């Protein structure tokens, strides 16, 4: 019997007009083949600097080698040797160099530790003009179109259309194959990020897709089977927070998945004009547009959405937190407090799904608002290495204090300890300076795209027993680290003439998980990395959730709040 997948039912084939299709395809193909101008010496420099970061700064290197059987340091040494043998005439195309070094970073399955491609890749996003999402019913997992960009019209292809095949491959298989190509700290995270990257890929962290178009088989709302072909498009990345490259307190407190944050900004630009209009209204002092029933205007629409929701168990507050990134941590925390005070005090659904993190200090400082308990910030550890010890000592010249970690790093060189001592990055005073401001029961909603500062927030929420955690996946993204850029490391060692860090060429960069986080409370000492936060209960997203504003999910959360004493 043949093991080949069943051919999708036949139906009308929808084509883009050939002239437009060819033009769009050429744009991507030409970009892949011609983008970039790194010299051979610049490539060698990138490999050398990557080797320093992964061998001497990367805090999860022992864990990743044990869990995944990888040896990124040796792979970089091999790549280093190959580039030494190359000449300007024999070196491979630039995209191949980026693919080789990206593959080494991706083998770590760590969304904190990245090779960031130079311009012009860094300024572009590859996308298809629609989103697909996964849901479950009695027949198992299915994939549905949930958003279509303005101006994109294909018969039967609209929110609610069910995708069955992707370029001739059954969609579930295509998602599994795609998952193996992308980083993710556990199976749930890999699958979730695979679905996300089927239609949006920031080229800062991903090479452009090598297929110039995809063929999608789908069942429209009218029940008809159809097939369409759609080309990948390129557009300019939406602006994000300004990165000065200096060792500021904000830069040293970053705990963020840059892939998710770049993707979320692209989603807003492509599919959420309402948020852009709200941001503009806040900036110009105009009336807040596009309010939904029960929604409360926010001063930071890119970070928050607050509204009252009616469930069979009662009326509760629903607060989405999309990011912990902020140019003003104080203003961010103040806005969070203002919003929770305006929401019903009988219960709060705090929803951090798809939040890729941000400033770990901001995330940890929010916990006190929700509990009468004294908050213990998560302690963090460096990898024990001579270079990390030098970095901590050199920071003194910039009035940056890592003195708590220096004695254990110094001692570890003699004792052979793998890690430094563990001390909080967020001060105990800051984590408890405000106190409780919301006094009702709280349910936290998570998924596998919660990462970094959001993992830290979810772990703190659970460790301080603030309330139950309701997950739409079996785990959070499991990113437990404070991440620094190569530029920050350069800046920390700027006054040391023997610094091994050299600025990278043409806007390329790297990020490295430099301090790992450990849990407190009942799971004290357990690393967050690759383990994440296991929810108390799991709710699988339904078709109704995707089409009707999370209706079933919010009803489930409402029942949990009622059990906690909300009514």
Of the candidates 110, 280, 111, the residue with the CA atom closest to the CA atom of residue 202: 111
In the predicted model, is pLDDT for residue 1 greater than 70?
no
- pTM here is 0.93
Cα–Cα distance list, 325 to 250, 253, 272 (Å): 10, 11, 19
Cis omega before residue 120 (within 30°)?
yes
Q: What are the φ/ψ torsions at residue 324 (nearest 5 degrees)?
A: -105, 10
The 8 Å CB, 24+ separation contacts for 248-251 are: 250/327, 250/329, 250/359, 251/484, 251/485, 251/488
Lowest-confidence pick of 41-45, 284-288, 416-420, 461-465: 284-288
Higher pLDDT among residues 187 and 417, named by residue: 417
Structural contact between residues 481 and 567, judged by C-beta atoms closer than 8 angstroms:
no
User: Which one of 11-15, 183-187, 315-319 scores highest in mean pLDDT?
Assistant: 315-319
CA dist 375 and 353 (Å) reads 23
- What counts of helices (H) and strands (E) characterise the chain? 17, 24
Ramachandran bin of 55, using left for φ above 0, alpha for ψ from -120 to 50, beta for the remaining angles: alpha
pLDDT at residue 302, as a whole number: 93
Band the pLDDT of 10: cuts 50, 70, 90: very low
pLDDT at residue 122, as a whole number: 86
Lowest-confidence pick of 153-157, 183-187, 283-287, 371-375: 183-187
pLDDT at residue 372, as a whole number: 97
pLDDT at residue 25, as a whole number: 42
Instruction: Tell me the average pLDDT across 386-403.
Output: 95
In the predicted model, is pLDDT for residue 82 greater than 80?
yes
Lowest-confidence pick of 154-163, 206-215, 231-240: 231-240
In the predicted model, is pLDDT for residue 324 greater than 50?
yes
In the predicted model, is pLDDT for residue 248 greater than 90?
no
Q: For the chain, what percent of residues have pLDDT higher than 70?
A: 93
pLDDT at residue 243, as a whole number: 60
In the predicted model, is pLDDT for residue 532 greater than 80?
yes
In the predicted model, is pLDDT for residue 11 greater than 80?
no
Dihedral (CA of 72, 76, 79, 81) sign? negative
Band the pLDDT of 470: cuts 50, 70, 90: very high
Instruction: Tell me the average pLDDT across 245-253.
Output: 85
Higher pLDDT among residues 280 and 318, named by residue: 318
- All structural domains of the chain, each given as residue ranges with its CATH number in brackets, are 34-121 (1.20.920.70), 124-236 (2.30.42.10)
Based on its alpha-carbon atoms, the radius of gyration of the chain, rounded to whole angstroms, reads 24
Residues 431-442 pLDDT 10s:
999 999 999 999
The residues, any chain, with a CB within 8 Å of residue 155's CB and separated by 6 or more, are 12, 14, 220, 226
Of the candidates 131, 139, 126, 274, the residue with the CA atom closest to the CA atom of residue 204: 126
Band the pLDDT of 24: cuts 50, 70, 90: very low
In the predicted model, is pLDDT for residue 15 greater than 70?
no
Band the pLDDT of 185: cuts 50, 70, 90: confident
pLDDT at residue 210, as a whole number: 82
CA dist 269 and 288 (Å) reads 18
In the predicted model, is pLDDT for residue 241 greater than 50?
yes
Dihedral (CA of 12, 18, 20, 25) sign? positive
Band the pLDDT of 209: cuts 50, 70, 90: confident
- Please report the DSSP string for 135-181 in residue order: EEETTEEEEEEEEE-TT--BTTBSTTPEEEEETTEEHHHHHHHHHTT
CA dist 362 and 253 (Å) reads 9
Give the strand order in the sheet containing 537-538: 295-296, 304-311, 314-321, 348-351, 442-446, 469-471, 537-538
pLDDT at residue 183, as a whole number: 64
In the predicted model, is pLDDT for residue 424 greater than 80?
yes
CA dist 321 and 4 (Å) reads 44
CA dist 63 and 541 (Å) reads 32
Instruction: Tell me the average pLDDT across 419-426.
Output: 96
Instruction: Please classify residue 343 by burial: count the beta carbons closer than 10 Å to its beta carbon, then call 0-12 exposed, 13-18 middle and 19+ buried.
Output: buried
Structural contact between residues 241 and 362, judged by C-beta atoms closer than 8 angstroms:
no
In the predicted model, is pLDDT for residue 485 greater than 50?
yes
Instruction: Tell me the average pLDDT across 182-188.
Output: 76
Instruction: Tell me the average pLDDT across 167-185.
Output: 87
Of the candidates 71, 196, 69, 227, the residue with the CA atom closest to the CA atom of residue 132: 196
Dihedral Cα 315, 316, 321, 326, nearest 10 deg: 110
pLDDT at residue 566, as a whole number: 63
Residues 38-58 pLDDT 10s:
999 999 999 999 999 999 999
pLDDT at residue 35, as a whole number: 75
Q: Are strands 169-170 and 124-127 parallel, antiparallel or unpaired?
A: unpaired
pLDDT at residue 242, as a whole number: 57
Q: For the chain, what percent of residues have pLDDT higher than 90?
A: 77
pLDDT at residue 30, as a whole number: 72
pLDDT at residue 13, as a whole number: 45
């Amino acid at each position: 019997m043949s093991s080949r997948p069943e051919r999708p039912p036949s139906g009308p084939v929808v084509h883009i007009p050939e002239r437009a299709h060819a033009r769009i395809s050429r744009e991507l193909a030409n970009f892949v083949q011609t983008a970039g101008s790194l010299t051979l010496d610049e490539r060698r420099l990138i490999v050398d600097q990557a080797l320093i970061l992964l061998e001497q700064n990367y805090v999860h290197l022992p864990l990743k080698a044990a869990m995944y059987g990888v040896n990124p340091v040796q792979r970089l040494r091999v790549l280093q040797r190959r580039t030494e043998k190359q000449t300007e005439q024999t070196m491979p195309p630039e995209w191949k160099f980026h693919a080789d070094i990206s593959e080494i970073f991706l083998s770590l399955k760590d969304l904190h530790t990245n090779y960031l491609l130079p311009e012009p890749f860094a300024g572009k996003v590859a996308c298809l003009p629609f989103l697909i999402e996964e849901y479950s019913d009695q027949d198992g997992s299915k994939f549905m179109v949930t958003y279509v960009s303005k101006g994109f019209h294909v018969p039967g292809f609209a929110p609610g259309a069910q995708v069955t095949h992707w370029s001739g491959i059954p969609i579930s298989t295509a998602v599994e194959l795609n998952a193996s190509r992308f980083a993710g700290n556990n199976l749930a995270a890999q699958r979730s990020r695979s679905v996300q990257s089927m239609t949006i890929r920031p080229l800062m962290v991903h090479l452009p897709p090598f297929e110039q178009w995809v063929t999608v088989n789908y069942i429209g709302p009218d029940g008809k089977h159809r097939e369409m072909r759609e080309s990948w498009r390129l557009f300019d990345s939406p602006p994000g927070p300004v990165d000065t490259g200096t060792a500021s307190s904000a830069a040293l407190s970053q705990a963020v998945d840059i892939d998710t944050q770049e993707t979320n900004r692209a989603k807003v630009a492509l599919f959420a004009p309402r948020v852009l209009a709200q941001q503009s209204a806040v900036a110009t002092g105009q009336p807040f547009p596009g309010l939904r029933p029960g929604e409360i205007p926010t001063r930071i629409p890119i970070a928050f959405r607050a509204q009252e929701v009616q469930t069979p168990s009662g009326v509760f507050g629903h607060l989405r937190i999309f990011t912990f990134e902020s140019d003003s941590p104080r203003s961010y925390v103040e806005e969070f407090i203002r919003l929770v005070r305006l929401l019903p005090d009988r219960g709060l659904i705090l929803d951090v799904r798809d939040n890729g993190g941000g400033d770990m200090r901001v995330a940890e400082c929010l916990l006190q608002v929700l509990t009468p308990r004294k908050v213990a910030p998560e302690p963090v550890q460096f990898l024990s290495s001579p270079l990390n010890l030098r970095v901590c000592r050199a920071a003194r010249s910039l009035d940056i204090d890592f003195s708590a970690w220096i004695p254990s790093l110094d001692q570890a060189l003699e004792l052979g300890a793998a890690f430094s001592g563990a001390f909080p990055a967020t001060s105990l005073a800051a984590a408890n300076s405000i106190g409780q401001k919301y006094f009702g029961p709280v349910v936290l909603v998570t998924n596998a795209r919660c990462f970094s500062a959001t993992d830290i927030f979810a772990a703190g929420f659970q460790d301080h027993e603030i309330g139950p955690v309701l997950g739409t996946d079996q785990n959070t993204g499991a990113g437990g680290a404070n991440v620094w850029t190569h530029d920050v490391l350069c800046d920390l060692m700027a006054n040391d003439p023997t610094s091994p860090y050299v600025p990278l060429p043409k806007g390329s960069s790297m990020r490295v998980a430099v301090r790992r986080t450990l849990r407190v409370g009942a799971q004290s000492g357990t690393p967050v990395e690759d383990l994440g936060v296991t929810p108390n209960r799991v709710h699988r997203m339904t078709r109704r959730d995707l089409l009707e504003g999370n209706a079933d999910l919010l009803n489930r959360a409402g029942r949990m709040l009622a059990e906690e004493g909300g009514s």
